Amino acid sequence: MTSEKTADEVFESLNGFDEIAIEKAFGEITSLKDKPMMFLRALLFTEHRREGKTDKEAKQAAMDATMRELTDYFRADEDIDAGEA
């Protein structure tokens, strides 16, 4: 499974409810700035929630993702630079 969005686009789309859910599941979002992979898991968690999973299911899916799955999920920024947006 991959996203049509970059990680930056998902981050920029976060609303207050997303922030509250991330905080409950992963802690204060600003505390993730020094943990880039956990930050990506929080964004993946948000994507799963938006697809209709419960917070518990979304966190489990995000935590179960391998590093490769996690980095491959989000569209790379260079795709945008290459005019594929």
Q: Give residue-wise pLDDT tens across range 13-28.
A: 999 999 999 999 999 9
Q: How confident is the model at residue 65 (pLDDT cuts 50, 70, 90)?
A: very high
**Cα–chain-centroid distance for residue 39?**
7
**Containing structural domain, residue 32:** 7-80
Structure token digits, residue 83: 């005019």
Region 34-54 average pLDDT: 96
Residue 14, classed as helix, strand or coil, is coil
Q: What's this model's pTM, rounded to 2 decimal places?
A: 0.85
Q: How many domains does the chain have?
A: 1
E-state strands within 26-82: none
Is 2 inside any structural domain?
no
Is 1 inside any structural domain?
no
Residue type at 36 in one-letter notation: P
pLDDT, greater one: 21 or 3 = 21
